[in-house]
Structure 1
């Protein structure tokens, strides 16, 4: 790396919370960092972002499991703009970008001078002696999950230079320098992960996600997708016990009743752990981080699985 390519030092602006809620949240975070000291990197999520005023980036809907799913989501977003606009130059730019996204796996499109980018977000879970970290008492947890399934509602403008609380500042340092362990992933995944730490040295914490996990043979396995609230993760477990497991397993009548009763419990009581017929499930807390480099947020890596093709590629449509 030449002198011109050396990244400037990362400076975090730390600000103590001045309100009682902020103070309690900070204390909660500190306690959990002690109780769940190990951090493990999970599978990435993907979304899209718009370069906004002042060089900041506006991030939308980071909910996709693959880069192509995020491209499709971006195309849908642009199509909505096209349907609403009455400005001919903007309509022309949107039409051109949509044509490219329909045929090619591109991660950036420029429309009337504004950059739209598919972005990659790392996910992490804290682990302690008893397994992955469950939701915190201070986490937002609406019982009515309707309308809370969007990852960023409303969309969020990320500001790497913005002030942050002590716990988030420590978390940013901890996560930004993390990469996949060499012995747990393919060589190209490890290489890309280490390279991203250097090429995108600034991390910005995005809203926390939640997922269901199951303890199997002494280890924890993902049981659901990542969702926006703890209640939605409970709903994922309940749906699985009520509808998925009976189809996968040859349950007796008594076993089916046990699964149904456990699902009913999750519907009526916001607990974070349930056990049914020896199977143990937990709602887990998922930290999310977008990595920032000189050109903006990190895009999908060459090693990221991206099996799907654009809808119009090779005459698919």
Structure 2
């Protein structure tokens, strides 16, 4: 595609693709092209959820709660907390605070996936988590992926937040490799009979209702190889180093306490962790009979004419709405200890 090329599906969604000329973007493009050749298949792990907002005159949807949760209700709770904090910290106007707290009250009692509050639309958005693979295993971090310049193995406070500042905008210009990936992911859906029929039906329907795709920033997980396949060992993290640090923390802090290790066993784990740290950007670690990998996680949001896809009817929740924060009145007075 040339710099002037556009792609528009039958729904009218436009995708703009042009060659990149910035050195960092060019390195990312080269990485993506190499990865596409080496890792030609993908595995869908399942849905993730977050919260996005769109105010008057804004282009696209700003991510205000990262798209990392396993259940829609976790993101509804994140929106609940987000609006409560806005009422507490971002206004001195009782009328504005009343509107924010009315939305909080709804979220405490109802299963709500979209709200308009003070002129801003908030939506629980759904993404699909996937990872590329080949005959050798899952894709590790790429050389051009954002990572810590000075690795800190103890303090996570400098880790960039997942999805920080990202705007879900189908029409935003992308490079050729990124555009090709988005086109390829348009057909991503659940096909296997191991998925329930309603999950497969919703997945097929989404190809029509939300035919566009936007790929969220790359994230990373630690996974463990087991007899049943690959199992997540960590949450979704923003950098490869954050994932590596998670492994070191598990070895040196969590496991000694959880498993009541002896001093000798603890010292052995410290030695394993030290070798892993000394390796710098290692993405594989064997701990006795356990094998861990740092892998690159993709997340794709489906887009319709009205924006990002919300949760599907077949998406499940482990629990329902509840009170998340203390009671606050329109003057900002907070009452603690109330049921």
Would the alpha carbon gap of residues 43 and 236 (structure 1) be closer, same or farther in structure 2, given more than 3 Å must change? Answer: farther
State the partner residue of 2:37. Answer: 34
Would the alpha carbon gap of residues 173 and 244 (structure 1) be closer, same or farther in structure 2, given more than 3 Å must change? Answer: same
Query: For residues 116 and 14 of structure 2, what CA distance do their matches in structure 1 show?
Result: 30
1:263 CA displacement: 2.4
State the partner residue of 1:291. Answer: 302
**Structure 1: runs of 5 or more not aligned:** 1-5
1:245 CA displacement: 4.3
Would the alpha carbon gap of residues 104 and 147 (structure 1) be closer, same or farther in structure 2, given more than 3 Å must change? Answer: farther
1:56 to 47, 57, 60: 60
1:243 CA displacement: 4.2
State the partner residue of 1:3. Answer: none
1:165 to 165, 175, 184: 175
State the partner residue of 2:286. Answer: 275
2:83 to 66, 78, 86: 78
Query: For residues 191 and 160 of structure 2, what CA distance do their matches in structure 1 show?
Result: 31
* 1:188-267 equivalent positions in 2, closer than 5 A: 188-217=198-227, 219-246=229-256, 256-267=266-277
> As a proportion of its length, which structure holds more helix?
1
**Contact 2:212 2:303 (8 Å CA) reproduced:** yes
> How does the TM-score come out when normalised to structure 2?
0.83
1:156 to 166, 169, 177: 166
1:302 CA displacement: 1.9
State the partner residue of 2:333. Answer: none
Query: For residues 144 and 59 of structure 2, what CA distance do their matches in structure 1 show?
Result: 33
* 1:117-132 equivalent positions in 2, closer than 5 A: 117-132=123-138
1:217 CA displacement: 3.0
Number of residue pairs matched? 309
State the partner residue of 2:74. Answer: 69
2:96 to 65, 86, 90: 90
1:248 CA displacement: 6.4
1:44 CA displacement: 1.9
Would the alpha carbon gap of residues 198 and 257 (structure 1) be closer, same or farther in structure 2, given more than 3 Å must change? Answer: farther
What secondary structure sits across from 1:72 in the alignment?
helix
Would the alpha carbon gap of residues 85 and 187 (structure 1) be closer, same or farther in structure 2, given more than 3 Å must change? Answer: same
Would the alpha carbon gap of residues 258 and 180 (structure 1) be closer, same or farther in structure 2, given more than 3 Å must change? Answer: farther
**Contact 1:109 1:117 (8 Å CA) reproduced:** yes
Query: For residues 19 and 233 of structure 2, what CA distance do their matches in structure 1 show?
Result: 37
State the partner residue of 2:11. Answer: 8
1:111 CA displacement: 1.2
The CA RMSD over aligned residues, in Å, is 2.4
Query: For residues 224 and 94 of structure 1, what CA distance do their matches in structure 2 show?
Result: 34
Query: For residues 264 and 103 of structure 1, what CA distance do their matches in structure 2 show?
Result: 49
**Contact 1:235 1:266 (8 Å CA) reproduced:** no
